[in-house]
Chain A
């Protein structure tokens, strides 16, 4: 009896160990994923912002479209959340400005640059923020531990932290059910609408801005983005940092 129980526990222990190391042993099916080929694909997504076309109305529309789509709460203090917002040209590009520049006080849209060499991804201790193959820098809201290292790492101030429970500032009825509302204590930022791209649609701000924002594959010489970059003079923010931003400002 005694030796039987002993044997049973031994085998059970070994089995548990085996299954935990290699689940298929227990007959657990490893799921197979199918690649969905619908949706917009690019080698490297990029955005060009036409600073000349940015009227207050256009910018308001773009911001509203983004923040409504992504359930971004409106918080009226410095613990707020911003995915896309307005800054003066000088504040964005002070390292390439001078006191007599005409555009100095021009209001301009700004958002995450989806850098090719993103410091936020480098510093994240859990890979909760990561670069997709097409260059989009994404957040896993369920893995983020809220250490805010990425916020210190971002040289563009593009990231926001949920100091509050965002649901306190969202109206239950107006919320977009197709995009997750965040928990308290995680970081968030613009995602180039990766979820829309995967469904074959362009980013919400691009649609809302009606021609002031260009979006496309920067590696494709025939893309719209490359076309405007060829025709117009353009800048990126803080190029000397080597982060290789993929949001271009057309002057």
Chain B
């Protein structure tokens, strides 16, 4: 099937070259980081995780959200997803690979990465995150490829693949739960120290992932001339609304707990996140953009007419992505570190090198998505043209 990836239009190749160029820039920035250490980042003694770890967290959610199509398709026989499911699975593959790259980019001693396997430490949640992420990557490549191959041969998926599909459902939940546990189990970080962190991660993930998928579906419709189906997109849009409502609700619950209890250890973080501390209000501006974008998207989509209009739906999905990305990709990590455990104000702004490396990894993800989608859609077209 892979041969389909090397047969494409000029536009396809130009797009791949553009992505490769961005990856190249990212790679050279990474060489600088390897040479000069993480001193080239905006990270510091107080805010010791930043943009890389935030992207990682956001993308674990995108990866996990494939389950929002797997459950209806395999547990409820929701036929509308039959044609599009492969897109969800391949998106998960690309997202997990980006996650792993972001983790590596964040390490101070990346050449010692395999110490995590050499000295396995079950007490560390990071150890378990490695286990579940790699397992999920394997499951999605495996299930996606085997089912696609079966379809190409015009037969149903082999029976032995079914257990892997069923396992992939709780496994998807587990990757984002374990990722939330990275933060939620730390005694001194009150912003993260909440039982609602894993559920809130899942809620925002199930909004962000399907939103991205809907946008990708529109891109495919335009550039690959293949329609994933109106019903599939409409079903996904409903998932986005429910998930986004749950996400906003959980934010409100967290804010209430901090604001009404007025316990300073919790409240200070929310003050920083939404109003800024000691004049540092940049993150607060972003936070309000996130809240507004989320609320506007939900209100818009609650009306079926809006949902069914492609333009409005696509625009709302951009708002949802913006909202959830700011929430996890900017706010979550930084606000967890500020104020510091010693009640000092600290700052963190990603540097240019950091942004270029981040962009390079995103481009890698999009390259993987492009190639995998080229194969997946190629096979689909082949089947549907009889």
Contact = CB atoms under 8 A, between A and B. Distances in A.
A163 B49 CA distance: 12
A144 interface: yes
Nearest to B38: A163
A82 B46 CA distance: 12
Nearest to B43: A163
Interface stretch (B107-115, B157-165, B230-238, B374-382): B107-115
Interface stretch (B77-85, B135-143, B182-190): B182-190
Interface in B364-380: none
A153 to B, nearest CB: 5
Contacts of B265: 95
B343 A146 contact: no
B108 A161 contact: yes
A153 B48 CA distance: 11
Interface string B36-63: 1111010111101100000000000000
Q: Which range contains the number of A residues in contact with the other chain?
A: 35 or more
B275 interface: no
Contact of A185 (B107, B186, B347): B107
A164 B37 contact: yes
B342 A163 contact: no
Interface in A156-185: 156-157, 160-165, 183-185
B344 interface: yes
Interface stretch (B19-27, B87-95, B120-128, B296-304): B120-128
Given A78-B346, A82-B45, A145-B109, A154 B188 contact: yes
Interface residues of B, number: 47
Contacts of B107: 145-147, 185
B327 interface: no
Given A119-B188, A154-B188, A155-B188, A143 B115 contact: yes
Per DSSP, chain A at the interface is loop
A193 to B, nearest CB: 22
B115 A165 contact: no
A90 B183 CA distance: 26
Interface stretch (A7-15, A30-38, A121-129): A121-129
Contacts of B43: 79, 161, 163
A87 to B, nearest CB: 6
A170 to B, nearest CB: 15
B116 interface: yes
A212 interface: no
A149 B124 CA distance: 9
Contacts of B46: 78, 157
B106 interface: yes
Chain B binding site: helix, strand, loop or mixed by DSSP?
Answer: loop
A125 B127 contact: yes
Given A126-B115, A149-B124, A186 B108 contact: yes
Given A78-B346, A145-B107, A123 B48 contact: no
A91 B109 contact: no
A148 B108 contact: yes
Contacts of B344: 91
Contacts of A154: 188, 341
A138 interface: no
A238 interface: yes
B340 interface: yes
A242 interface: yes
B117 to A, nearest CB: 9
Contacts of A238: 188
B223 interface: no
Contacts of B187: 119, 153, 155, 241-243
Most buried by B among A80, A149, A162, A165: A149
A125 B113 CA distance: 10
B52 to A, nearest CB: 11
Nearest to B190: A155
A85 to B, nearest CB: 10
A79 B44 contact: yes
Interface string B182-222: 11011111000000000000000000000000000000000
B45 A152 contact: no
Contacts of B125: 123
Nearest to A146: B108
A19 interface: no
B260 interface: no
11 contacts: A78-B347, A87-B342, A123-B124, A146-B107, A148-B106, A152-B189, A155-B186, A157-B341, A161-B108, A163-B41, A165-B36
Given A78-B347, A145-B113, 16 more contacts: A79-B45, A81-B45, A87-B342, A94-B343, A123-B125, A144-B108, A145-B109, A145-B112, A147-B126, A148-B106, A151-B48, A152-B48, A153-B187, A163-B43, A165-B37, A186-B109
Interface of A: 77-82, 87, 90-92, 94-95, 119, 122-128, 143-149, 151-157, 160-165, 183-187, 238, 241-243
